[in-house]
Amino acid sequence: MAIRLKDIAADLGISAVTVSKVLRGKPDVGEETRQRVWERVRAVNYQPNLLARGLASGKSQTVGLIVPDLLHTFFAEFAKGLKAGLRKRGYQLILASAEEEPQLEREEIDTLLARGVDALLLATCQPEEDALASLAAIQVPCVLVDRAIPASGRPFVGTDDSAAGRLATEHLLSLGRRRIAHIAGEGFSTGLDRLQGYRHALTTAGIEPRSEWVVCRSRLEEAGDRIGEAAMAEFLALPERLDAVFCYNDLSAIGAIRAVLAAGLRVPEDIAIVGCGNLRLADYMRVPLTSIDQSTGEQGEWAAKLTVLLLAGKEKNLDRQVRLAPKLVPRSSTQGS
């Protein structure tokens, strides 16, 4: 068994409570005692048992994050920023992944709560109705991430996705494109908002959005390349040729580009393509990909900040919505090269 608090206390001939106080930085301990405790703690490399501490105190200084899939670099990057932000504020992170399975997500929620996390951050992969039910049962502060559910009344940190849709579409318009299609993401606010931004930009430019130029697809995070390729093939089969496509994410954009090239057309000369997410490798693709950057790491930092404020009761606005502004990163897939 590892060394315990009471061992240290016994060694020093003082009470366990005093040692505990020193460890937690309580002020009501004499300077000399404090010194001796720390000295001994370091000497034996004592580590407090977090299970016991959490059980006794009802607090764990730990928050949980559940993401749909860590293979999506977005979430890995978000987790990284979040972790740094939490650390800076004296909190730890437990990371869990739902592997895109709603059932697993529910289990992870239960597990993290059973582990006594002080707060939960959730990028849900559940359909809205189910997510609402899950959320309703969560008794600790809970921040939604990436995928918004306004009806939940929970705080949110994510991208301003409708701005992302607008930005991408306006970029294409500014290049003189007029017949702009969209491969949309289905099922979550990210997809719906980007679609809305796309429509808004078109309308503002005096172009009537055409329904045959929008396809909605799910699972774009996992299989976007295949799905994007197939969707693009459908677009290419339309009687009137498009001159640009805004894709829900970079993976689907990469697939779309493949389909365009396979059809013997050029990117961007014949069809310009914009993705979203700004993948690390976007610049090394067959055609370097114009994309929308989401400042993912910053989102994590924001989430940390907001969560800790909530925990401290210092955030008055209990359904605070933080939406970071997306940025366009132009590359060859829209600008020639």
Partner DNA sequence: GTGAAAGCGCTAACAG
Partner DNA sequence: CTGTTAGCGCTTTCAC
Please check whether residue 125 is in contact with residue 102, taking contact to mean a CB–CB distance below 8 angstroms: yes
Cβ distance to DNA smaller for residue 16 or 322: 16
* H helix or E strand, kind and range, residue 55: helix 50-57
Provide the 10 A C-beta neighbour count for residue 34: 16
Task: Say whether residue 106 binds a second copy (CB under 8 A).
Answer: no
Q: Binding-site residue total for DNA (CB under 7 A)?
A: 29
Q: Specify the stretch interacting with a second copy by CB under 8 A; choose among 48-56, 155-163, 237-245, 320-328.
A: 48-56
Nearer to DNA (CB atom), residue 32 or residue 269: 32
Q: Report which of 248, 160, 166 is spatially closest to residue 199, judged by C-alpha positions.
A: 166
Q: Which does 80 bind (CB under 5 to 8 A by kind): a second copy, DNA, none?
A: a second copy
Q: Which is nearer to DNA, 27 or 239 (CB)?
A: 27
Does residue number 31 form part of the binding site for DNA (CB under 7 A)? yes
**Minimum Å distance from CB 138 to a second copy?**
11
48 binds a second copy (CB under 8 A): yes
CA pair distance 302, 71, nearest whole angstrom:
22
Residue 220 found at the interface with a second copy (CB under 8 A): no
The burial class, CB within 10 Å (0-12 / 13-18 / 19+), for 55 is exposed
> What distance in Å separates the CA atoms of residue 273 and residue 280, rounded to the nearest whole number?
17
Provide the phi-psi class of 317: left if phi over 0, else alpha when psi is between -120 and 50, else beta: beta
DSSP 8-state class, residue 334: H
Tell me if 44 contacts DNA by CB under 7 A.
Answer: no
Residue ranges in contact with a second copy by CB under 8 A: 2, 45, 47-52, 54-55, 60, 69-71, 73, 76-77, 79-80, 83-84, 92, 94-97, 99, 110-111, 113-116, 137, 139, 225, 254, 258, 279-281, 284-286
